[in-house]
Amino acid sequence: MSRMSSLFSLVLFVFSESFAQYVPPYTEECRTNMYPPAGPTYKSTVAWYTIDLDTPPYKRWNQLLSDKKAELAMLNQVIKDLANAFVPSGKLVDLVDKKLPSLIETFPSPFHDELKGIADVSGVPLGEVLLFNIFYEVFTVCTSVVAEDSAGKLFHARNMDFGLFLGWDVKNHTWVVTEYLRPLVVNLDFQKGNKTVFKSTSFAGYVGMLTGVKPGVFSVTMNERFSLDGGYIGIIEWIIGRRDGMWMSFLMRSVLENATSYDDAKNQLATTKLLAPAYFILGGNKSGQGCVITRSRTTSLDIWEIDAKQSQWYVLETNYDRWKDPFFLDDRRTPAMKCLNQTTQAKISLEKIYDVLSTKPVLNKLTVYTTLMEASEGKLESYIRDCPNPCMPW
Ligand SMILES: *[C@@H]1O[C@H](CO)[C@@H](O)[C@H](O)[C@H]1NC(C)=O
Ligand SMILES: *[C@@H]1O[C@H](CO)[C@@H](O)[C@H](O)[C@H]1NC(C)=O
Ligand SMILES: *[C@@H]1O[C@H](CO)[C@@H](O)[C@H](O)[C@H]1NC(C)=O
Ligand SMILES: *[C@@H]1O[C@H](CO)[C@@H](O)[C@H](O)[C@H]1NC(C)=O
Ligand SMILES: *[C@@H]1O[C@H](CO)[C@@H](O)[C@H](O)[C@H]1NC(C)=O
């Protein structure tokens, strides 16, 4: 408990520091020459694991989870501590352990068998495994970008910012969950018949997808969208039994596994009924194929497409509708666009996008990893990030 902050101290911190988002050292000139990754904002590369889709779902995560058991147990303990700090009787964790497991049966194949396999290999109770699979759906504040160069080549990249409000460590000025999440980041190569179907940057123990590429076809990322008719309502409805919407990251996984073209992926992401609103950012393998799909639970509200002829050579999404201003304490959009504009279409590349994603506050205390993708070449590379003090909490 002592290393966790009370909500009060977080609020104090927010008031003392977040108005500083627009002044150095919390913001900075656009970074250059950050690639290849090195220095204090780069922690490490990410290990690769193969997930064999020809193996039964219950077994396919065995290798990964037996390697990451200890790290998963630590994150799980931190989440339980947070829950117990929130509801001190321990009743919340009790509820998770007793009630959530039965809900796993309602998940479509292959998810329920995969989750059971993960629980059994890791020794983490099934309800708790399910809980942090839900967690990723609601605490991701990110930056995603798809850009087209002058030759019509498409680049797709994202910062994964995760752990907002999940325990502010007053002493270290870090988010507790974010810190424990970094060791769980893995690159996954999903194969069938020993051939890659898609690749993803993910977290050990998680069966949905938030970032991925289907070589030669498309790349896709998901960002959280806050809304009044938001995720929490859909999730509560799901728990009490109304289950006609799909989890967003399960849809992502299913699209990466089974969609056959950019248009097929776009159509599925735009029309499938969801549990919560979301932004899907999709890149293709040829000129003009890049878009941000703004989703409500039931429908697509807006599809913003790259149109290089109209000098719209990139699309960028943080966590706000593009037709609205970002929340004034959380504007990562303007600095990221400023840096992309400075770079220009003639000079854009994955290396230059890495520079943009390394510029504060686009890079912030929540940033867990940066992934760079290129669908036409089937490329996916990712880096664990850090944002040493002074740095914005988000
Ligand atoms: C906080 O920082 C100290 C010193 O760098 C380190 O030993 C400790 O593990 C950190 N705490 C957490 C929760 O990360
Ligand atoms: C994949 O490769 C392994 C060994 O390299 C082989 O044993 C296995 O049969 C192959 N699987 C398929 C589906 O081709
Ligand atoms: C993809 O399609 C196959 C074959 O229809 C199905 O067995 C599998 O469950 C699907 N994958 C996902 C993640 O929905
Ligand atoms: C792009 O993807 C389509 C399938 O959507 C495929 O037919 C085509 O060969 C791909 N082009 C390249 C350059 O990989
Ligand atoms: C970036 O350029 C676009 C297109 O010219 C423009 O609409 C936008 O306002 C610029 N944004 C920033 C932050 O410079």
Residue-by-residue DSSP string for 179-195: HHHGGGEEEEEEEETTE
Residue 3 Cα to ligand 1 middle (Å):
9
Q: Is the peptide bond before 393 cis (omega within 30 degrees of 0)?
A: no
Q: Of 8 and 346, which is predicted with more confidence?
A: 346
Residue minimizing CA distance to atom 12 of ligand 2 = 193
Q: How far lies 307's CA from each of 147, 152, 268, 304, 313, in Å? A: 10, 11, 22, 9, 6
CA 192 to ligand 2: nearest atom: 13
- % pLDDT > 70, the chain: 88
Mean pLDDT lowest for which of 11-15, 56-60, 84-88, 125-129? Answer: 11-15
Ligand 2 pocket member 54 (CB < 6 A) = yes
- Whether 291 is a known active-site residue: answer no
Are 168 and 11 a contacting pair, CB within 8 Å? no
194 lines ligand 2 (CB under 6 A): yes
Q: Which of 30, 142, 291, 339 is catalytic?
A: 142
Per-residue pLDDT at 8 exceeds 50: no
Written as six digits, the tokens of 82 are 């947070």
pTM: 0.90
Do 80 and 136 touch, CB atoms closer than 8 A? Answer: no
Beta carbon of 110 within 6 Å of any ligand 3 atom: yes
94: left (phi over 0), alpha (psi -120 to 50) or beta: alpha
Tell me what percent of the residues of the chain surpass a pLDDT of 90. 61
Q: What is the whole-number distance in angstroms between the Cα of residue 62 and the centre of ligand 2? A: 18
Radius of gyration for the chain, computed over Cα atoms and rounded to the nearest angstrom: 20
Mean pLDDT value of segment 63-84: 89
Which pairing describes strands 211-214 and 143-148: parallel, antiparallel, or unpaired? unpaired
Could you tell me whether strands 48-52 and 185-192 are parallel, antiparallel, or unpaired per DSSP bridges?
A: parallel
Ligand 3 pocket, residue 178 CB under 6 Å: no
Predicted confidence (pLDDT) at residue 279 exceeds the cutoff of 50: yes
The dihedral through the CA atoms of 25, 29, 30, 31 has a sign that is negative
Per the listing, tokens 């896709």 go with 220
Distance of alpha carbon 200 from alpha carbon 357, whole angstroms: 19
In the prediction, which pLDDT does 60 show? 98
Q: Do 318 and 142 touch, CB atoms closer than 8 A?
A: yes
Tell me the C-alpha distance between 374 and 285, whole Å.
Answer: 8
390 DSSP 8-state letter: S
pLDDT of residue 186: 98
What average pLDDT does the segment 357-365 reach?
92
Q: What's the pLDDT band for 114 if we cut at 50, 70, 90? A: very high
Tens of pLDDT, residue by residue over 243-264, are: 878 889 999 999 999 999 999 9
Does the beta carbon of 195 lie inside 6 Å of ligand 2?
A: no
Closest C-alpha residue for ligand 4 atom 10: 216
Closest CA to 67 of 192, 160, 205: 205
CB-based burial label for 109 (10 Å; 0-12, 13-18, 19+): exposed
The residue-averaged pLDDT of 274-290 equals 95
- State yes or no: pLDDT of 229 exceeds 80: no
What sign does the CA torsion over 15, 19, 23, 24 have? positive
Residues 213-225: tens digit of each pLDDT: 999 999 999 998 8
Which residue is closest in CA terms to ligand 4's atom 5? 261
Query: CA end-to-end span of the chain, whole Å?
Result: 23
Instruction: Kindly report the protein residue whose alpha carbon is nearest to atom 10 of ligand 1.
Output: 172
Residue nearest to atom 14 of ligand 3 (CA): 254
pLDDT over 70 (residue 131): yes
334 lines ligand 5 (CB under 6 A): yes
Which residue, chain included where needed, has tokens 């810190």?
A: 179
Residue 371 CB coordination number (10 Å) = 27
